[in-house]
Structure 1
Amino acid sequence: MSFHSAGPPPRYGQEPYRQEPYGQPTYGQPTYGQPTSGQPPQWYAPPPPAPPTAPPGPPAPLVPPPHPAPSSRPGRPAPRLRPGGNVETALGVLLAANALAALPAAVTGFLLFRELPPDAGLMPVGGASAYGSYDLNSFTGVIQGALLLVTAAVFTLWFHRVRVNAGLFEPYRFRHGAGWAAGGWYVPVVCWWLPFRTALGIWAASGPPPAGTGRPPASVAPVAAWWFLWVSAEATALLALGARLLDQDVPHWARTATGLALAEDVLLLPAAVLALVFVRKVSAMQQARLRLAPAGYVPVG
């Protein structure tokens, strides 16, 4: 009885059936020294577990700093804060003088308006005024116009300076450059709204810092009242100028022009007072902010 399996025996020099060559793994078995599939190697050590972390808290409020950081670029000068100084003093004197000049101009304008009949002209054929208060009203008008021109130049310089300071305090409040603080007054149409927006930004940026003082922001009522009176006075002046041009052909426009000029003087008096309040308040608030300025800022006069 034979114990050999059926089939021919393997040929000489070949491995038995279903046997791998020496040193090779059997089908489905890992190579010698390698871990079984799905199992980590013997020398592998799992990493230690991560320490527990605290749950995230609420996000910090986005509060802008009271001052931007000084410049760290080489060769770039530090921001320069400019207090009002002599410009503020001169502007205060000029605004007070404008308020005083508006009072006699309004009085003489009222006297002239009362003397004029509805259908009379200011300058008859002889070339001289037929009314005694005309010359006095013209003299006060010249003084008032000269003061307004000088005040406008000094106010523009001061307004640009405080706009630069406010841009260093809180630059995010302004959409236009500092140059528009001076040029915006002299551009047609733009002059009716851009200086007011700039004044509101200066007022807000010059007040107490957003955090750390506990003081409420200053009310914008003085700024709004000043601007309303100023724009009303300028609009009345334009209407009075148009009426005087019509007076050359139509005599009865003289009384209308005189009444409009009187209304302009009445509006300029409180406008000058509120402008003085605006200048003093902004200068005081910026002086308080200057005392809080970091060491990287250089106040200059």
Structure 2
Amino acid sequence: MEETAPRPAFRAARPTALLATALLLLAGAAWLARAVWEIRLSVAGEPASGPPDQGDGNHRPLTSLEDAYHIVGAVGDVVVVLCAAAFLAWLWQVRDNARALSGRPPRYRGIWVYLGWIVPVVNLWVPRGLVVDVHRASAPDKRLPFVVNVWWALWLIGMLSGVGLISRESRDGLIERAYSDVWQLLVSDAAVVGAAVAAVFVVRAVTSVQSERAAGGPAPTGADGA
């Protein structure tokens, strides 16, 4: 999976890291707001008229709280898309920087920076592998930060829960679940918020080791503990 493209020049990743960090925190806040509304729905209880989706294509009018949940969820979706774009821009840049610092091609072709997140099965390990490869090439004398594994574990929980980042239910279905099994939603929400916060530390750690390496010259070769 090696590339033969020309070796890129090192470019400081701090600006893209700052943008990615800001949007990660904003995405975490948006998902926290979603959890707050789910708790409010659970406390309010399901209306006597039943769930929003009443089957056979019939939907009753939403309550004000349910309507607000739709708005909170829609805003969160937009923030998550912006966050994903910023994180991928950062990842692409530090990937190029890792090649500039190490002189060796990345383990994964550039297309996997994007496809690695959406191709089934492959998305269980490739995104983490991209970050690990960048860190290894940038700082071969340092161990992989433990927060990378924390971030990835929380990301997988949020992704595979079925009610988190990749939801198999409509928003009306999530409202119905909030009335009956809100704890499932909250566990998933906690994982997503935790993954966003952990990703902030991942971005800072990788950006920092690259800046140190660029300022201090070539680092000795060695295992990074990944």
Same topology, TM > 0.5: yes
Pairwise CA distance, 1:160: 1.3
Which one scores higher on RCO, CA 8 angstroms, separation ≥ 6? 2
Residue correspondence of structure 1 range 1-301 to structure 2 within 5 A: 79-117=8-46, 120-123=50-53, 127-130=60-63, 132-170=64-102, 174-207=106-139, 209-210=140-141, 217-237=142-162, 241-244=167-170, 247=173, 255=179, 259-293=183-217
2:69 match: secondary structure: helix
Amino acid at match of 2:21: G
Instruction: Pick which of 114-123 and 224-233 moved more.
Output: 114-123
The sequence identity of aligned pairs, in percent, is 25
Could you tell me whether the CA contact under 8 Å between 2:113 and 2:127 is conserved in 1? yes
* CA distance in 2 between partners of 1:155 and 1:227 (Å): 14
The TM-score normalised by the length of structure 2 is 0.76
Residue correspondences, number: 209
Whole-Å separation in 2 of the counterparts to 1:200 and 1:227: 11
**CA distance in 1 between partners of 2:158 and 2:74 (Å):** 17
Unpaired runs of 5+ residues, structure 2, are 219-226
The normalised TM-score by structure 1 is 0.59
Q: CA deviation at 1:264?
A: 2.7
Return 5+ residue gaps in structure 1 as ranges: 1-75, 211-216, 295-301
More helix by share: 2
CA distance in 2, matches of 1:143, 1:108: 13
Inter-CA distance 254–164: structure 2 relative to 1 (3 Å threshold): same
State the AA in 1 paired with 2:192: L
How far the C-alpha of 1:272 sits from its partner, in A, is 0.9
Higher-Rg structure is 1
Which moves more between the two structures, 146-155 or 261-270?
A: 261-270
Q: CA deviation at 1:170?
A: 3.6
1:153–1:247: structure 2 CA closer, same or farther, 3 Å change rule?
Answer: closer
Q: Alpha carbon RMSD of aligned pairs, Å?
A: 3.4
